[in-house]
Amino acid sequence: MDISYLLFLQNLREGAPSFFEQFFVYLSYIGDGPALIALVLIVYWCIDKRAGQFSFIAFGFGNFVNQLLKNICCVYRPWIRSSEIVPAEAAIEGAGGYSFPSGHTTGTATSLGSFAWLARKDHKWISIVCIVVIVLMMFARNFLGVHTPQDVIVGLVIAIVMIALTQLFFNWLDRYDSMMPGHNKDLIVMIIVVIVCAISVVFIILKPYPMDYVDGNLLVDPVTMQKGSFEAAGICAGLAIAWFLERRLVDFSTDGLDMRARVIRGVIGVVIVGITYVAGDVIFKAILPYNWAKLVQLFCVVIMAVFVAPLVFQKFENGRSASRQSDSGTDDAHRSPRQSAGRQSSQQRTPRQRQRQTTVHDNSPQRRSVNTKENRSR
């Protein structure tokens, strides 16, 4: 039935204007990983830290489970299972690894689905947009011939489960934060995640894989199929460690940021992550086997994105604040002691106190005298 459905969509694709295929190919680029991570990081750095953390955790562990299932089930791509399936050529490059379940669906549904879940009450339009993109992504993977309906449905189920588990995790941690300040539950979580990631890599390496040959050539190379699991393990281990370090050593905030501060954070973060990604791609591929190089590269990228970048933000912003205070102190040095005291007193007053002072001045005897003369002249 799944092959019949794909053949039906294939006929539609071949008979439709090329615009439709191009649209769904470009849409698939969004779910390929980097674009989604970039969006999540911008939210984490500049807009809403908690929402960014929530989405990144759901995305990271959803991707981890997805890639683990791919290498456990070892389901070939549709065009390998049936020679009648001819996928869109532009979509094949992004269809790495085994077919089941769909990584594009899980990645899109965990990241955007998290935003949809968190915005469901106060910003329903965000939820609607995210859900529409998720549905289009699922259809796109079938329309392009690179996934079966089962692939995208299970990919969506993984995402829903991960979002629910992430919400439970946040609720659990919030209870401990309120009841037992200074607890070590976050340390325990970090250690468990790192151990699970290490075990998964060993399992992926040692497990048996189908070794099917066509005309003397290996149909699918297991080592190539393992790449996604190595990357997922690097992301999850890096995320657990970086989350712990940021929580203990930085604890930055996105509250009260003006637009300039948000832009500066975004630029600094993108530069840090971009340099780390490019440098890691060159360095680690030169000294490690490809899959291990990708694991270490993405581990470092996540550490820099989640921990180091916020640390840089905090140092930079504290330096700017100290510089402004220093400039303010220099200005006060050129004023008389009474002027400086008056300026400091004015700065320390609340808006309500300053408003009350203005009202008092407006009703002073001198002000009433002026108002009386003006009334008489009229």
Q: How far is CA 228 from the centre of its chain?
A: 18
List all residues 6 or more positions away from 40 whose beta carbon is below 8 Å from its beta carbon. Answer: 52, 55, 56, 59, 111
**What confidence score (pLDDT) does residue 339 get?**
47
Task: Yes or no: say if 156 and 178 are a contact pair by the CB < 8 Å rule.
Answer: no
Which two tokens mark 250?
Answer: 């930085």
What pLDDT score does 317 carry?
87
The DSSP secondary-structure symbol of 364 reads S
Q: Which DSSP letter does residue 210 get?
A: -
Rounded to 5°, the CA angle 277-282-283 comes to 100
DSSP assignment of 305-342 equals IIIIHHHHHHHHHHHHHHHHHHHHHHHHHTS-HHHHHH
Per-residue pLDDT of the chain (378 residues; tens, 9 = 90+): 688 999 999 999 999 898 899 999 999 988 887 889 999 999 999 999 999 999 999 999 999 999 999 999 999 999 988 889 999 988 887 787 899 999 999 999 999 999 999 999 989 999 999 999 999 999 999 999 999 999 999 999 999 999 999 999 999 999 999 998 888 999 999 999 999 999 999 999 999 999 988 888 888 899 999 999 999 999 999 999 999 999 999 999 999 899 999 999 999 999 999 999 999 999 999 999 999 999 999 999 999 999 999 999 999 888 877 777 776 665 555 555 544 444 444 434 434 343 434 333 444 434 444 444 444 444
Confidence at residue 373, expressed as pLDDT on a 0 to 100 scale: 40
CB 295 within 8 A of CB 233: yes
Q: What is the torsional sign of CA 30, 104, 129, 161?
A: negative
Model's pTM, two decimal places? 0.84
